[in-house]
Each structure stands twice: as structure tokens, then as C-alpha cells.
Structure 1
Amino acid sequence: MMKKVHVLSFLALAVSSACYAEGKTYPEPMLYSQSDFGGTGLMQLPTARIAPQGEFSVNYRDNDQYRFYSTSVALFPWLEGTIRYADVRTRLYSSNPAFSGNQSYKDKSFDFKVRLLEESYYIPAVAFGKRDISGTGLFDGEYIVGSKRFGPVDFTLGVGWGYIGNSGNISNPFCRASDKYCTRSDLVDAGEISFDGMFKGPASVVGGIEYQTPWQPLSLKLEYDGNDYKDDFSKNIRQFTHYNFGAVYRVADWAYVNLSYERGDTLMFGFTLHNNLNTLRPAYRDAPKVAYDPEVTEGVPSYTVVASQLTNLKYNAGFDDPEIKYHGNTVYMSGEQKRYRDPREAVDRANRILVNQLPAGTETISVTQTNMHLPMVTTETNVASLKKELAGYPLGHEGKLLQKRVEPKDPIPDSQGYRIKPSRFSYAFEPKLIQSLGGPEGFYMYQIGLLPSANYWLTDNWLVDSGVFINIHNNYNKFNSSLLPKDSTLPRVRTHIRDYVRNDVFINNLQTNYVADLGNGFYGQAYGGYLEMMYGGVGAEVLYRPLDSQWAIGIDANYVKQRDWNDMMRFADYNVGTGFITTYWNPPQMNGVLLKVAVGQYLAGDKGVTIEMAKRFDSGVKVGIWGAKSNVSKADYGEGGFSKGFYVSIPFDLMTVSPNPNHALISWTPLTRDGGQTLSRKYQLYNMTSEREIPLGQ
């Protein structure tokens, strides 16, 4: 009893001190915060609240039994997803020291929450959610909750099943309809996605309140927990009360700390770092656009004028290797835009540069964007409407810029134009991070390195590309190949990673690619050489991608051999044919979402399907999740059941001082296994033809 009094006194003192501390004033109160498990909620319980679209959080919570590491993202105003790792301090990963040493048990899981009703004046927000949808099922449960705000107090009430409702303080309403809902199995296949236990077993009423104090950085929480913890995996949780108490203190706009006293026995503390991916904006300083100062010339402008335009097209509009041609009543410009993520910015700048010196009678400016010397899209702009817009419309006589995107046009391909001589050689230095989480040998395994690369265009279609990987540091020496099932029939297509990364310097890729515009929206490429760290061979790909279409389809076929990890210039004995038919779809009802489905044969010879969903926010940040399920049995695949992963792609220009169209990719794969593995090709036609996608927001 004395312990409880001391802890409650400490919590009260911390809250009281915070209330009277002098600090930053905040423009808005905290309307939501993350629960212990990740995802918007109270402490142990979720609420019906979903953070604003794009809200991304990294969370840590700690008590005597568990450490919870989680990330949560609001993909839409009505959908929230959470990925979580639970570190069970009271359990070892296995009883076999050779398998995992003294590492504590790690459990990974995925949650989602869907808003069913939006809050109105009379109606509460209502949400349905599932916790631990894919994992070992340690925290498996589902819930239906409603939340209603009255001034500074947010009330939540609902029903939970599974881990959330283990105490069974009410009769399961579904059990009355069918006996199959009266019991819930504890058997869950690790890594498998299953809804078999939905709404089965004991059920409990759950609820709580969150109070926003008059001092905006501080909010207080109270909840009634529907779990009784009698069968908890940690085996040493005691519960003296179902009531939990907590406080959330915002230390900055992007961070807050949590402190709670739960079950009358346990102190939980942690923190959350968060930001909104949808509202991030570049902070770089860009060169001003060329001022509008039109001058009409008789015939083609002088060489000096055109040279100045080409220079501005390269350094102001961001077009590499720009070329200008004059034909009839149209000025044609083409080049590869390497400065702006939004192609509309580059086209606008190019139009401003060209419109200032136009031959008399010019009616259209035609700007063609290319990528890897392949024509992607032409933007045609009516000169008269462009001049009116740049000059400014009289008040009450606003007009519309007449502009359209069309298939690439060059009606005079063999004619001589004016251009900056293209450079056929380029090079780059790229930092590289390879990582995986949750393995038995170590929770976090990684390799940090540097990848210098260079390429040379032999012709406009024929590229030679190379990259050398330089290892800086890695801990893959912990990777234990004995993890593989003793009776697995799968070839070792990826689990030799420890053998590869022990090479400090090696040729990562050395290949040649022939790329071509096949016409009518078709693009193709053929390639051969060392295609990635582990494989070399030959292959080809064809993509059909109509301009500004919401779908595309491609097919690739490859014959590859495994590279010898003892001598990276040689090949091992293993070879395989691998390839896929892949469809890409941007649903019109879901702005910024890409759904990708690939069906074919993987590196281990197994056949199956890979499904990927990615959400691109207004800032350009992309969040994606994927899973690959093949005809490999769970016994052969091993722990995890199927391949899966999560990634965040962050535009460089959110972090740099100048515009940059490139992205930094942070990816997460829970386990390295041999089933459902694809070839990691550097050049893929869908990515190479991104300019053909209708710009976001149009």
C-alpha cells in the first residue's frame, strides 16, 4: 500500500509542478494523443479519435513488464494504421542460447482503426479497430468505441473483445446469436493475417475520459480497463484496480511525454515524437522566376538570345540538356527536368523564359519533358493566354490559362535545333542503409555504407551503369543461418546476407541497359550484368502507361544467377528464372494512393502475388506497406509466415536548401527469409516514367 501512495504522490507532484511552471504558450489544445500501444487513444484503450490526415508519430512506452515501440500514421481522415514491437522483459526470445542468446522476447504486430461515423453536434464519433492483426496474437483484440467531446472533456465508451475485453464484464452479444462466438482460441500462427477470432470469447465494456486542462500543454486521462491480465504473456502482471490514471505534457509542438499509473500497481512512462506528413513544406530558397518582359522578334531570335534562354532553362527551370526548335507557329523545347518534384513548376519557368523572346506569329509553346532520353509528356501552352496571365488580368476580367498535357511531340526530329551539348557521363555518391528489425540474433540489424556510382550513355538509348559498395559498419555477423528450418526445401536466395555483407568493398552493380520509347504509351528496356548485390543475369521489361491515366501494366522476365559471396566477380551454382506481370492503379476516389499487384515467380522458384499500397501526401512524403505471399508452406518459410515490409519516402527538398526532385527511402523489413523474394533491379520503367502521371491535385 505504501508503494501505491508514493507513486500516486509522485504523479500528483509532477502534474502540479508542470501546471505552475513557466513555459511556452500553445495556440491550440491537444485534441488527441497516442495510447500505450500506439494509435490514438487513452492508455490501454483506443478511442474513436483519428489524428488529422498525415499525422505520423513515433512512440515509446515503458513499464516493468513491457517496452512498446510503435509508429502510427493517419493515412486518411478515416483510417489509422500502427506498427508495433513489444519487448517482453520477463521472457527470453527462446530457451536455446545458441538460437538467440539472452535477448528478451520481441513481438511484432499491426493494428488498424476505421472511423465509421464522424462526430456531429448530437452524434459521437464511432470507430471500429483491430489490434495485432498480424503477429503472434499476444495482444489480439478488436473493439467498437464512440467518443464525444463536451468542451474540454472527451468521453469514450465502447465494447472490447480479446485482450481488450478479457475480464468479460458483460455477456458477449454475439454469443447469443451463435455458440461459435462464445469461446476464443489462443492459437495464432505467427505472422499470419487472420480474422477468425473476431468478436469471439469474453467481452467487456470499456471507457474513459480525457480532460484538457486550462493550461494547454497538459491533459489528464482516466480509463476503465476491460482486461484482467490473468493470462498475460509476461506472467507477472498484477491488477488491483481496473482504473488507470495518466497525464500527457507537451514539451514542444512536435513532442510530448506521458506518465501514467495503471492497474494500481504499475508506473508507465514514455514519449511521442510526431509531425504531419501532409502539411510539411520545403524551406529552401529558390532563384526567382524570370521576369515577364516580352519582346517580339522578326524570325528566329539571335544566337545570343537563344544562348541566354538555354542557360536560363538549365539553371532557372532545371532542364538538363535543353533544346529549342522553331517550326511554323510553335516553339518547341525539350529536356530532362532534374530540379523540381512538381513538373508544373519547371514548365511554368520554361514558359516564362521562352515567352520573352518569341518570333512574330508564335501561337504555341510546346515543352517536352524527357527522362533517360525517353520522351514522357508535352505541355502545350497558348501564347496569347499565357501573356494575359503574366501581364495580370484586369479586376473582374480574370481568365484561364489555356494549357494541356499531350503525348510527346517533336514534328521535326531530324532538324537542327539550338541546345546545350549533353554530357553523357555522370556520377554520384549515395549513403546506403540496409536494415531489419526483430530478428532473434538482435532486435536491430543494419549495414551502413557508401555507394559511389557512375554511368555513361553510349547512345541516346544505350546506358552503361556501375556502382561500388563500400562498407562502413554492420552487425550482420550476428545473423545465424541455423535459424532456417532444418527440413526447408527452399534454396538460400536471401539468407546468405551475412556472407555478402562481410565483404568490405564489392561491385554492387555493373550493367548495361537499352531503353526505348515503343510508341503509343509503351516503353521497354533490356538489361544485363551484375544487377544487384546478390544476383546477375539478363532480363527485359515492357510497360504500357497511357498519359495521365490512373492505371498501368507491365511485364518483366529475368534469368539470373546467384553471385558468389566469396568472390563477388564470380557466380555460385544457383540460377533461376523470375518475373512478374504487374498492375498499377491510382483509385480516383483515393487521392494520392497507388495500389500495385504483381503476380509471378520469385527468386526461390516459388510462385505468388505481391500487394503494395502507398499513400502520397501533399508534401510529397510517401508511406507504403507491402506483403508477398507465395506457395511456400509456413514450415518451409519459417517465422513470419510471409514476406512483408513498410517504407517511408521523404523528398530531399524538405531537408535541403535548394530544390531537389530526389527522395530518401527509409524501409523496414521484419525478418530476412527466402520465400517471396524479388530481384532488386535499379532501373524500373514505372519509376522511370513518373512524369506521365497526372500531377497531384489536378
Structure 2
Amino acid sequence: MSHRRPRAVLLPAALASVSALALGVMAFAQEAPRPRPSVNLYGNAGLIDMPSAEMMPDGQMTLSWSKFDGMSRRQFNFQILPRLSGTLRYSTIDNWGRPDDPDYDLWDRSFDFRLQILEDKPGWQPSLALGFRDFLGTGVYSGEYLVASKRVVPSVTVTGGVGWGRFAGVNGFKNPFCAISNGMCARDEDYGEGGKPAFGRFFRGEDAALFGGVEWRTPYDGLTLKAEYSSDAYTREQSGPNAHFDRKSPFNFGAEYNITEGITVGGYYMYGDALGFNIALSGNPNKPLTPQDLGVGPIPTTARPDDAPMGEGWQNDPAKRTRLSDALAKAMDVEGIRLERITFKGSVVDVVIQNRRYNQQPRAIGRATRVLQVGMPANVKTFNVTLIADGLETTTVTIDRAEYESQISRWDAGQSSWDTVGLAGAWDDPAGYPVWTRPNLYPSVDWTVLPQPYLVLLTPGEPIRVGLNLDANVTLRLSQGASFNIGVSQPLFGTYDDPGDSDSTLPHVRSNTSRYYSGKNPRLTNLTGDYVFKLNENTYGQVSAGYLERQFAGIYSEVLWKPVDQSWGLGADLAYVKQRQWDAPLGLTDYDVVTGFGSAYWETGWYGMQVELDAGRYLAGDWGGTLTVTREFPNGWAVGAYATLTDVTAEDYGEGSFDKGVMITIPFRWTVPFETDARNSIQLTSISRDGGAQLDVANHLWDTVKEFDRQHMKWNWGSYWQ
């Protein structure tokens, strides 16, 4: 489910049409609101087949499918940062042909990124972007470009650019970089297994060429017309023995219609020979699909009266403490919060709670604080609220009651409350103080049933597969830290037939993944005994044993050091596992391995970017490291990319050269009009290979505790009063 300069003399030629049309009409472009850019047939912001210099709104995600004359492309585009976007693409080209198989159809994956150098501003300044197509892939679509776009009137945007590689196929001119080095005139077309960065190809080749076009958003609401001049020759697509595409013209024409805010369809006349189609589905983590203000509001609260009795006698009466605690527990149950323990320390009370409803932790803290404010006797001056996650006591939030009362009706209550609360790693010592513990708390049973979509790309029998499972998980908790967990997955659609054994030369630790998802019978995904604990206020640990994931069983241990006030953490894990049989729920094979990693985690504080580096031994016995970069949004959305390099050679690894992929986490709260803390994850991976494979263990400690640190709390503190 994250994952960079041509010569300036070329720019005036590429922008000539923009400058001519822009004359005298800049005032209109200054005032009109900017619509979201349209998507081209490569999944990027652009014209039809050619790119533009525009950028999507920050965080925008777009899934698109385009097709013309035997060429189809499926794309995921993510606006990584306001000026940086990336596109993951999986393409099928019919009748590609090759000497040993004239009927061969090519399945190809590629990755693009684009960096916007300038933004379109009032006056003469256009937007300017530098782009790299098929930066990671086989190189079938490889090309670089410098492109400019200008909105010349509110409804018209003009684009012009210069390109290399696939962008220099027709009507080119000598590559200016050849004047710097003769080596720049040669472009390497041997891409091997693909999947490697193509630094040696950038801006190379004998020719460069110009491209451009115009986009008109018509007065008819939602309808856009486009025309472009394409510099792509499509030479290879026309050379297969059975190819029937005939590029007759460099001009493309099209019309697109925006059905709703997130759905656009388009039709095109391509290269004087073919009809094309495109559909794009788009959404933004910052724009939920459903209203976010439904549900029951918090209980009203007021400050203590000036003449409130301040007696402390109730604290010495066990019966009164119990009645009070029981009442508070019932009130918090209504709020979706489970009160597990209260420690009475004179004018201070410590409460331990579990958030069972809210997607944002500060909202649970705020609801609990309201209950304490209403229910606690007036002599209590400080509330310490500790949050539990998956059995771990994570963070203690200290609330000064007098400060809280002064903020209740203030316009700046959000910021003021954040400035006056304290945060620390949870580490309670109740010795000598009376403690109320919720009766009959353990053993307890929790369960969830959630739809789990998955997307598998470039499987051995087809280029893409979309499926849906119904996943049920049950937790029997014996104590706060000890539990038994079982997970069962029922395929609903998109199921596999058994493809047979992999031909990988490495141990088949992941290349047989399709076998573990084949068939329509329910699958045991995990069956484990788990124990989580804390060594001190900043150090967490866990041990798990059993069927850890779909493909491996064994013993897993992990430790994490992560102070609440620190933006980084260190972890280590170690496991001994045996591979499970794909066709027997409890059966094991003879393959076993010791695997483990040292990990470093860093929350950069910059646009929610997080970095994780793992180094150690993988499931196939190979050694290496994995870099994961994730952008997380305050509401729980996350998009990440990872890449793994190990001592397995590209040849032994096979297609793709090394392991990489994209992960997406979607909070259910974004899609439904009620409170829930449930989340769903989707992985966009290339074909499953064995090199660089890690255990897929649920509830890694970092994922469990990170949202309870200062940075995450601050992000979401606006929900404290909701």
C-alpha cells in the first residue's frame, strides 16, 4: 500500500503557442477559481496522450483505466506533495509479438513521477514541470519531458513541452545535450528484467521533439474538449507480426465529461486511426465521501460552582468510590469508551480507558474528560487519562481541571487546551493508593467483520485481479496484555484457481502466494497466542506464537523504544517460522527460517511524511534492507511506498529485479456517516517474488503506538472538544 534539466534554450520554443495566446487576457486567469486538472490516458494530469504541467490538489488520488486499439492501461496516481506526483501503471499491449511467439501480448508495469518547478501565476508565468515516465519499469514507455501550461482565459489552458525518449518519436531535432557529450546521443534500450531506476537513459537519444495542445472547459457544465499534437511515434506497437494499429496522424482529439466530482469519462479519436476511452475515479483524503458531523454530541459540561464542597471524606469510603466509579464507567460506555481502572490519589485521579469508537484519539480523551468533569467531586483538581491500544498502555494525558474549566466557553479552546495539557509515556505506580478495577473485565471477547478488498497486479495468468474477502477476527483477552487471536477470511469474488507451484529459484516464500488465496473455501489467516507488555514508560514489547499469517507459523518477538515526545524510534524483531501448507489449514511444510530486523522509524513532521528503514534477514534467507516512505493524513488516511534491496541478484529475483510496492490505508470513518475506528488496507504490489519478503504480522508495535505520540495528538487535537 511510498514511495530529478534540459537546457533553457529549448523552453521558448516549447512555450511559443502559450505566449501568443496569453497576450492581453491574463486578467481573466487571475480571478477565476482553478478547477481540478483532467487526467490523460497515462493517468497523469494532462491532455490526451501528452502530459501538462498542472498538479492535482494536494493528496489527491486517482484510479484510471484507459484503452485504445489493443492498448489498455490501469493507473494509480497520487499527489505526494503539492508539487510532486507519482503514478503506478500496469499496461497491456496486444499483439506486441516477439520472435518466439508472434501472438505474445505484453504486460508491463511502470512508474512515473513529476516535479512542478513553477506555478501558474497572474501575468506571464506559466506552470512548469519536469517529468519522468517509466522511471521504474521495463522502459517500454520511457521518456523525459519539460512542459509548461498556462490558463489563458478561465476556460482555456494551453500546454507546450519538449521531450526525450518516447516523447521524441516524430519531427524531432538534434538533442542539445549531444553538444555536451557524444554519450548523450545514445539511449540504452536494454532494460533487462525491468524495475531498476533508469538514470543512464535520462535526456539521452539522438533527438528531442516538441508536443503541445489545448484544453477548453465548455460552457456546458462538466464537458471539456481537448486537442493535442503528440510526439510519440508508437513505433514498437506497430511492428508486431499481428499488430493492426496504424499511426496516421500526430493529432488527437477528445471530449471528457465530469459525471460527478470524482468520476470522469472521456472519448477520443487517436492518431487518425483509432477510438480511445478513459474513465477516472478520484478522491482526496481531506474531502470525506459522507458528512462528518453526524452522531451524538458530547455531554454538556460547566465549571465547578465557586461554593462547591471540597470535602475529601468520600475518598476514604470504599463503597462511595465504587458507586462513583461504576457510574463513571456506565457514562463512558455510552460515549464508546471503556473505563478499565481508576486510581485515587487525593486531588489527582488516574483513569485508564480504551477508545472503542473514535477514529481520532483526542476525541476519546475529550469525551472522557467531560464525564470526569461532570462526575468527579469538586476536590479533584487533576485528571490523568491513560489510553490503552491492543492491551498496551501508551500515553498519559494530564489535564488541569481549573484550566479545563476556564477553556469551556472560550473561542480558542482548542489551542488553549493543547497548550495546557501534559503528555508522558504511561507508567503508573498505584502502590499505596486505592484502586477501582472494572469488575468482570477479563476474560473478554471482541470481534470484527470487515470487507477486505485486494488488488493483485501482473499475476502469472492475467495482468490485474481485483478481489474481495470478508475477514472475521476474534480476540479472547485473558488479561490486559494476554490474548488469543483468530482470523478467518471468506473469499467473495475474484478468487483464484490453483496456479501450481512457482518456478522461482529461491525458496518459494512468496511466489506461491496465489495458491494461499485460491479456492472459495474460508481460510485461516492467523491463530495466535499473544502477550504485550511495557519494560518502562518508553519501551514496548510483544511475543506471539502460532499461525502468524497466511503462509507462516512460528514464534515472533518484538521490542520498540519510542518516547512520546520524540519524533523517532528504534525497534527490533526476531522470529523462527515454518511455512504453512497452502491446502491444509493447520499443516506445515519442511521449510523453516530464522528471520529478524533492526528498524528505525522517523516522523519527519513535514506533510505527514514518515520514514522506516529495516535491515536484516528475510524469509528466503537473504540479507538486506527495506526503505518505506509513507504520507499519513490526520484523519487516518495513509499512502506509502516501499523498496527492498537484498543480496539476491536481479536475475535470481526475476521480473522486477527487486521487491517494491504501494500501500494504502483507508479509515472507514471517511466513507460512512458515523463514528468508527476501523480501517482497511490495500496493497498495490507487482508480481509476488521471493527476494526481500517479510513476515506479515498483525499489530506491529510501531503501528500500534505511533498515533499516541505528541505529533499525532497535536494533528487531531481539534477533535478534543467534539
TM-score by length of 2: 0.85
Q: In 2, are the aligned partners of 1:30 and 1:212 still within 8 Å (CA)?
A: no
1:483-530 alpha-carbon deviations (Å, 9 max, x no partner) = x25xx2x11212333544457345432222222111141111122222
Partner of 2:611: 595
Residue 661 in structure 1 maps to residue 677 in structure 2:
yes
1:130 aligns with: 132
Instruction: Name the structure 2 match of 1:251.
Output: 259
Partner SS for 1:175 = helix
| Contact persistence 1:247–1:259 (CA under 8 A) | yes
Q: Distance in 1 between matches of 2:517 and 2:249?
A: 51
TM-fit CA distance, 1:191: 2.1
Does residue 388 of the first structure (1) align with residue 406 of the second (2)?
Answer: yes
- Counterpart for residue 154 of structure 1: 157
Q: Does the 8 Å contact 1:61/1:269 carry over to 2?
A: yes
In structure 1, the partner of 2:348 is: 330
Give how far 1:213 is off. 2.3
Does residue 270 of structure 1 match 2:315? no
Matched, 1:292 2:297: no
Q: CA deviation at 1:449?
A: 4.1
What corresponds to 2:22 in structure 1?
none
| Paired amino acid for 1:259 | G
Tell me, in whole angstroms, the C-alpha distance in 1 between the residues paired with 2:290 and 2:222.
27
Q: 1:424 to 1:233 in 2, by over 3 A?
A: farther
**CA positional deviation for 1:472:** 5.0
User: 1:179/1:94 Cα in 2 relative to 1: closer, same or farther (>3 Å)?
Assistant: closer
Q: 1:116 touches 1:126 (CA, 8 Å); kept in 2? A: yes
In structure 1, give the amino acid aligned to 2:329: L
CA contact (8 A) 2:354 2:387 kept: yes
Give 2:202's aligned residue. Answer: 198
2:529 corresponding residue in structure 1: 512
Cα 1:506/1:77, change in 2 over 3 Å:
closer
Once the 2 structures are TM-superposed, how far is the Cα of residue 647 of structure 1 from its aligned partner? Answer: 2.1
Q: Per the alignment, do residues 460 and 58 of structure 1 end up closer, same or farther by CA in structure 2, a change over 3 Å counting? A: closer
- For the 8 Å contact 2:445–2:477, the answer to whether it is kept is no
- Cα deviation, 1:531-574, whole Å, max 9, x if unaligned, reads 12221111311111111322111111111111234544342211
Partner of 1:359: 377
Q: In the alignment, what sits opposite 1:36?
A: 41
Residue 178 of structure 2 is matched in structure 1 by: 175
* Cα separation, 1, equivalents of 2:485 and 2:254: 57
Which residue is equivalent to 2:602?
585
Moved more, 141-150 or 685-694: 685-694
What SS is found at the alignment partner of 2:330? helix
- Asked whether the 8 Å contact 2:361–2:708 carries over to 1, the reply is no
Residue 572 of structure 2 aligns with an amino acid whose one-letter code is I
SS in 2 for 1:385: helix
1:375 match: 393
Query: Which residue identity does 2:159 align to in structure 1?
Result: T
SS in 1 for 2:199: coil
Name the SS for the 2:174 alignment partner: coil
Q: Say if 2:423 is the partner of 1:405.
A: yes
Asked whether the 8 Å contact 1:36–1:68 carries over to 2, the reply is yes
**CA distance in 2 between partners of 1:326 and 1:477 (Å):** 60
Structure 2 distance, partners of 1:366, 1:390, is 18
In structure 2, C-alpha distance between the alignment counterparts of 1:281 and 1:33, rounded to whole Å: 20
Contact 1:563 1:570 in 2 (8 A): yes
Match of 1:637 in 2: 653
1:300-315 alignment, distance < 5 Å: 300=314, 302=320, 303-315=322-334
Q: Which residue of 2 aligns with 1:107?
A: 108
Give, in angstroms, the shift of residue 454 of structure 1.
2.7
Asked if 1:495 is matched to 2:511, the reply is: yes
Structure 1: state its 5+ residue gaps: 1-26
Q: What is the one-letter code of the residue matched to 1:176?
A: A
Structure 2 matches for 1:602-621, cutoff 5 A? 602-621=618-637
Q: Does 1:551 align with 2:568?
A: yes
Distance 1:213 1:474, change over 3 A: closer
Contact 2:42-2:49 at 8 Å conserved across structures? yes
**Residue of structure 2 equivalent to 1:55:** 60
Query: Alpha-carbon deviation of 1:669?
Result: 1.7
Name the amino acid aligned to 2:158: F
Structure 2: runs of 5 or more not aligned? 1-31, 718-722
Deviations along 1:241-279, one digit per CA (max 9) or x if unpaired, are 322222222222222221222322222222222122222
Whether the 8 Å CA contact 2:482–2:532 is kept in 1: the answer is yes
| 1:575 maps onto 2:592 in alignment | yes
Structure 2 CA distance for partners of 1:409 and 1:636, relative to 1, 3 Å: closer
Counterparts in 2 of 1:96 and 1:203: CA distance versus 1, 3 Å: closer
CA 501–29 in structure 1, closer or farther in 2 if over 3 Å, else same: closer
Change (3 A) 1:461 1:119: same
Residue type at the aligned position of 1:356: V
- Against the structure 1 CA distance between its residues 172 and 623, is the aligned structure 2 distance closer, same or farther, given a 3 Å change threshold? same
Q: For residues 127 and 412 of structure 2, what CA distance do their matches in structure 1 show? A: 47
Q: For residue 426 of structure 1, what is the aligned residue in structure 2?
A: 445
Closer/same/farther in 2, CA of residues 171 and 578 from structure 1, 3 Å limit:
same
Q: How many residues are aligned here?
A: 660
Q: Which amino acid aligns with 2:390?
A: M
Secondary structure of 1:54's match? coil
CA shift, 1:181, in A, is 0.8
Quote the residue 1:13 is aligned against.
Answer: none
Compared with structure 1, are the counterparts of its residues 655 and 252 closer, same or farther at alpha carbon in structure 2 (3 Å cutoff)? closer
User: Are the counterparts in 2 of residues 56 and 275 from structure 1 also a CA contact under 8 Å?
Assistant: yes
| Identity percentage of aligned residues | 28
What's the TM-score once normalised by structure 1's chain length?
A: 0.88
Structure 1 pair 325–268 and aligned structure 2 pair: CA distance change class (3 A): same
* One-letter amino acid of the counterpart of residue 517, structure 1: K
